[in-house]
Amino acid sequence: MNCNAGSHDATARMRVAFVGKGGAGKSSIAGTFARLLARRDQPVLALDSDPLPGMPYALGIPVDDAPIPDDVVVERSEGSNEWVLRPGLTPEDLVDRYSVVCPDGVRYLQFGNTRGHISTMRRAQAAWSQVVREIDPQTYHLVGDLPGGTRQAMFGWGKYADTIVVVVEPTAKSLQVASRLLNLSKADWAPRQLILVANKLHSEADVIRIEERLQRPVTASIPRDVSVYANDRLGRSPLEGNDTQPFVQAVDTLLDQIVTTYADIDVPLSQKEVYS
Partner 1 sequence: MKIAVVGKGGSGKTTTSAVLARVLARSGHSVVALDCDTNPNLGLSLGVGDTETERLLTLRQEVDAGESEHAVSWDQILDVYGTNAPDGVRLSVVTRIENPEPD
Residues that bind partner 1 (CB under 8 A): 21-24, 52, 147-151, 172-173, 176-177, 180
Name the residue nearer to partner 1 (CB basis): 177 or 258.
177
What is the closest distance, in whole angstroms, from the C-beta atom of residue 22 to partner 1 in the complex? 1
The three-state DSSP-derived secondary structure of the chain is CCCCCCCCCCCCCCEEEEEECCCCCHHHHHHHHHHHHHCCCCCEEEEECCCCCCHHHHHCCCCCCCCCCHHHEEECCCCCCCEEECCCCCHHHHHHHHCEECHHHCEEEECCCCCCCHHHHHHHHHHHHHHHHHCCCCCCEEEEECCCECHHHHCCCCCCCCEEEEEECCCHHHHHHHHHHHHHHHCCCCCCEEEEEEEEECCHHHHHHHHHHHCCCCCEEEECCHHHHHHHHCCCCCCCCCCCCHHHHHHHHHHHHHHHHCCCCCCCCCHHHHHC
Choose between 49 and 150: whose C-beta lies nearer to partner 1.
150
- Whether 125 and 133 have beta carbons less than 8 Å apart is answered as no
Q: Closest separation between CB of residue 153 and partner 1, Å?
A: 10
Whichever of 133 and 151 has its CB closer to partner 1, that residue is 151
- Provide the minimum distance between the beta carbon of 124 and partner 1 in the complex, in angstroms, as a whole number: 21
24 or 34: CB nearest partner 1: 24
- In the bound state with partner 1, the residue whose beta carbon lies nearer, of 76 and 151, is 151
Q: Give me the least distance between CB of 254 and partner 1, in Å please.
A: 20
Least CB distance to partner 1 at residue 51 (A): 12
Q: How far is the CB of 24 from partner 1 (least distance, A)?
A: 7
Distances (CA, A) of 135 to 21, 48, 92, 119: 28, 15, 6, 24
Of the pair 105, 149, the CB lying nearest partner 1 is at 149
Residue closer to partner 1 (CB basis): 21 or 107: 21
Least separation in angstroms between residue 177's CB and partner 1 is: 6
